[in-house]
Structure 1
């Protein structure tokens, strides 16, 4: 896992400055703490920071040059690289490393831009082809790895994180109001937007090419193409178990220690059970305990870890310190207020301390198999189904925002992405309402919330996060299954439970979904409480001009000062305002009054 960065001037006579590439690398140093280097060729500059996972030798450092002269910077893992390597060797390719990077580059040199469809894994990469004078940017099918880009100043720039983009003088820090409007409703910013107007994210399954001063973006894979196959529960479950076993085995390939984030739920417990079967030595497992909370899964995770015989680590999550808040906001990269990110941040921190550099998580199970019953199992509305489902994904509706935001601000922030979410729901040939709902989730909050969280919180500590349930073979298998085997008698993930029935104990299979959704504002005590009150003071918020001062004071600040216990919803709203204000003060100079 790594950080990539670079740019290509559309004017071929304009030379790329190596110092700028180094500055981009330095801004994302945490992603690649083991090695860093740059490459320039006329208008093109490429940078790479390496976290060593496969082939720990310096020969596998990047930017890497191929036999035909192409140069790659690559962030990710190709899980079928050994199979591809054998194929390429049969075609005459000779390899000097045991890394997957060299295989991925050789695949490009052998097959051109169709190479991406042969890769199994997670990746964001850039290839400079000096023969064609062409730069190719590619993002993996599900959007597991991030890739930002910009077209400012007649230059195509790219980076793994927004920090890298903001290191460039031609990328402004102007805020995208549409993105900000979506943040207030979703607590994260959905692809392809970013919070910065000049910067976008390359969409999952997309490729962007730069050649002869022209820029072209195309989609090379889409989940919408997966057709439903008629099958019964027994057949579906058997095939699904086989697919999960294969995905888990492939995701254990590593030259460094591997661990698992274990919540005690079905997804992560199933991964842990199957990984323990395939691992040659005891795995490390990590869980978060939230004392006194109904969402605490620490005891259940520890109990199952003992059954599996893993080396278990339990992280106590009680008081959130100012330091933790500041590091969380900085590494989240953009305004991000998903409270479970705090738990994963602590887990990755502990994994790094224990020398574990690869961490498997259970992300994706709910989006593939219908785990969010409050949305996936809700009755289908008689009115506009697309917009109704889009609104069900919001944390804040229009009425709530109307109470909190000043009128001018609310109007300028737009529809909160309602039209975009409804468009995803309406994609043709997707079939029944549940399949449409799962497709909408997989193309929106799965990417901008769950996968963004997994990437940022693990990479903050030099740990590679892997998501076996989002292996594209498994995703395609899951989406081909009829909805009738996913949602049964009001229970979600029915086929997943059936598939894992021979792997997990009944106590885990029958457990209701909890998730790490704690009222984080109730952990703001002592110095943290004073810190939060200071950040959200009337004076600080007045400079921004977004909120109704009296409402924020009455609903959030005064209760916080009194030590009030917040509901889950109000806690999340306070956390969203806090995360935004902290991000603004550190990254963007922004005042509503100046717009």
Structure 2
């Protein structure tokens, strides 16, 4: 595990720049640093040593050093690959997984990606062909940013590395911001800066002689398979999870697991405990507000498996953690569960270097209530256009004027929901700012600039292009390609790497994902019941009390914070001269949102999205701008 950075050029590369790019991400790899320089490429990495601690330094080379690689992640089938490659005459210098990349490339070119089982972002430099290969794992566990001009290409694990180049313009991409306000994250391939892109998951980029081409190398097949025996499916699920967990327990450094109290992390802990000769170390955080605290459920699993359990009640000052998060998240990011994620990573790192997580269980097995809603809504016929327009208009009006969780608000959301076709319904469900809400808050100039840009089309297109036969299958597909890599995995990568901790996710093993993709919809969701197969499969492993609990999520009391300890901060940051000077949002509209939230209507998600954009902007785009009184972004940390 590490952070990588580098460049290739038809001219001489800037080796000093690459060193600065690596220095700023020391938190991703505090255990070592390595560089490769030649006439047309400079590659660098920061290492967090997990496997082959003694001899696993990077960059790695083939036998004649014509092929070089830097790598972030883990290749779980590296031992098998090493045996195959050794049998074909390849010679290895170390004992780890990184070297498999250069030799696989020699054998298979970019088709090597089909052979890899793991999480990764890597760069391979082929000096003979003057070719740079950039690749990212199937679901997007590991990040990779890049930018290019007519002669050069730059890449890095984090955007702040690319920003070390004084030649990179730090101009906000208005389309990326527009999409961010809809989804609370900047979706790939955009980044928040113009001219910088994310390599999407399951894609490979080939750069040769100043030209870059990108292709997708993997996609889930959502065609339903025939399962005649549900008990066989339950048994197969347990086998796949045990195997996916086993290969992720290989480590020369201390290893543990996040244990939130939900089914997914509990299942992973159970699978670890069954295969570990030692007590599994587990980590859980909670809040004093019982609505957001699942520590009691985590204890049930910890006690059942006799884990070495550690808990933390979060009571730290938000004015301390928010600027730290703004610095580590190189783009605006408005998933408030990043706060507990940061704290559980911080707690874990004081005991272990590797932590397994339950990420991906919901997307594999239909765990969110929105899946049940979409499954049921598939039986609702499309409304005639005039009726649909009226229903949407009145639904918006009722929702805007209703208090949080009031019956009227639920009616308004339902009216808006049924007014739209299935693809639009789901995109709307997943949106923070609706199109009309963005139009209302934008300045005239920004509204005109974005007039023809419909962010909801991003998810609508994924929904329509899915190979699934049902609406449930389509939304699982959409989430696997958007919400999972754009939100959940970004959150986990950034918060764990900020604490120099490696996270591994058994549910995201591509063998398990491919098997789960073929499950009939009714095996996962029926009526309002979700994750049915996983719950049945885990019945022998987990306490019944936990299996029967409704899904709680990794939430925070955001609405209360914005009416309480963050009220003054949000008002100041969202309305001061620094905010107004960008010319993006109308001050009167922002003040109205603040006022209505303070009076009881729930606008917490939208206010949080605006606040996180402002904090990001002050931490990165305008160094020296005021962010939080008495709290500085930890820019010396990297």
- TM normalised by structure 2 equals 0.87
Q: 1:416 to 1:281 in 2, by over 3 A?
A: farther
TM-aligned CA deviation for residue 148 of structure 1: 0.8
Contact 2:330 2:620 in 1 (8 A): no
- Output the CA distance in 2 between the equivalents of 1:298 and 1:189: 32
- Output the CA distance in 2 between the equivalents of 1:449 and 1:526: 26
Task: List aligned pairs for 1:330-369, cutoff 5 A.
Answer: 330-354=327-351, 356-369=352-365
**Equivalent residue, structure 1, for 2:621:** 588
**Equivalent residue, structure 1, for 2:394:** none
Q: Does 1:315 align with 2:352?
A: no
**Equivalent residue, structure 1, for 2:62:** 66
SS at match of 2:618: helix
Which residue, out of 386, 401, 426, partners 2:464?
A: 426
Query: Could you tell which deviates more after superposition, 241-250 or 516-525?
Result: 516-525
TM-aligned CA deviation for residue 88 of structure 1: 1.8
**Equivalent residue, structure 2, for 1:195:** 192
**Equivalent residue, structure 1, for 2:554:** 516
Which residue, out of 250, 255, 259, partners 1:258?
A: 255
- Output the CA distance in 1 between the equivalents of 2:564 and 2:182: 30
- Output the CA distance in 2 between the equivalents of 1:30 and 1:150: 23
Query: Could you tell which deviates more after superposition, 399-408 or 14-23?
Result: 399-408
- Output the CA distance in 1 between the equivalents of 2:127 and 2:568: 56
Which residue, out of 414, 419, 425, partners 1:388?
A: 425
Which residue, out of 416, 436, 440, partners 1:399?
A: 436
- Output the CA distance in 2 between the equivalents of 1:242 and 1:411: 55
TM-aligned CA deviation for residue 457 of structure 1: 0.6
SS at match of 1:39: strand
- Output the CA distance in 1 between the equivalents of 2:166 and 2:234: 53
TM-aligned CA deviation for residue 249 of structure 1: 0.8
Q: Does 1:373 align with 2:369?
A: yes
Q: Does 1:15 align with 2:12?
A: yes
Task: List aligned pairs for 1:436-447, cutoff 5 A.
Answer: 436-447=474-485
SS at match of 2:291: coil
Cα deviations across residues 426-461 of structure 1 (Å, max 9, x unaligned)? 115321111111101110011110010111010001
Query: Could you tell which deviates more after superposition, 338-347 or 125-134?
Result: 125-134
Query: Could you tell which deviates more after superposition, 410-419 or 286-295?
Result: 410-419
Cα deviations across residues 190-209 of structure 1 (Å, max 9, x unaligned)? 11111111111111111111
Contact 1:332 1:456 in 2 (8 A): yes
Q: 1:416 to 1:348 in 2, by over 3 A?
A: farther
Query: Could you tell which deviates more after superposition, 414-423 or 262-271?
Result: 414-423
Cα deviations across residues 513-572 of structure 1 (Å, max 9, x unaligned)? 110222335346988655444323433322122323233234326966xxx7x66x5222
**Equivalent residue, structure 2, for 1:280:** 277
SS at match of 2:153: strand
Q: 1:529 to 1:433 in 2, by over 3 A?
A: closer
SS at match of 1:60: coil
| Backbone CA RMSD of aligned residues | 2.1
Q: 1:256 to 1:319 in 2, by over 3 A?
A: closer
- Output the CA distance in 2 between the equivalents of 1:541 and 1:6: 34
Structure 1 gaps, min length 5: 591-595
**Equivalent residue, structure 2, for 1:55:** 52
Q: Does 1:112 align with 2:109?
A: yes
**Equivalent residue, structure 1, for 2:628:** none
SS at match of 2:69: strand
Contact 1:320 1:523 in 2 (8 A): no
Contact 1:377 1:492 in 2 (8 A): no
- Output the CA distance in 2 between the equivalents of 1:553 and 1:167: 36
- Output the CA distance in 1 between the equivalents of 2:564 and 2:423: 45
Q: Does 1:122 align with 2:122?
A: no
- Output the CA distance in 1 between the equivalents of 2:61 and 2:331: 33
Q: Does 1:242 align with 2:275?
A: no
Cα deviations across residues 484-515 of structure 1 (Å, max 9, x unaligned)? 21112321111111221211121111111110
Q: 1:557 to 1:37 in 2, by over 3 A?
A: farther
Cα deviations across residues 258-308 of structure 1 (Å, max 9, x unaligned)? 111111111010001111111221122111211124121122112321222
SS at match of 1:426: helix
Structure 2 gaps, min length 5: 383-419, 624-638
**Equivalent residue, structure 1, for 2:500:** 462
**Equivalent residue, structure 2, for 1:183:** 180
TM-aligned CA deviation for residue 413 of structure 1: 3.9
Query: Could you tell which deviates more after superposition, 142-151 or 390-399?
Result: 390-399
Task: List aligned pairs for 1:15-34, cutoff 5 A.
Answer: 15-34=12-31
Contact 1:259 1:285 in 2 (8 A): yes
- Output the CA distance in 1 between the equivalents of 2:312 and 2:517: 35
**Equivalent residue, structure 2, for 1:289:** 286
TM-aligned CA deviation for residue 589 of structure 1: 4.2
Which residue, out of 555, 578, 584, partners 2:593?
A: 555
**Equivalent residue, structure 1, for 2:514:** 476
Contact 1:318 1:523 in 2 (8 A): no
Query: Could you tell which deviates more after superposition, 301-310 or 535-544?
Result: 535-544
Q: Does 1:452 align with 2:490?
A: yes
- Output the CA distance in 2 between the equivalents of 1:37 and 1:512: 48
How many matched pairs?
579
**Equivalent residue, structure 2, for 1:210:** 207
**Equivalent residue, structure 2, for 1:488:** 526
- Output the CA distance in 2 between the equivalents of 1:7 and 1:516: 38
TM-aligned CA deviation for residue 403 of structure 1: 3.9
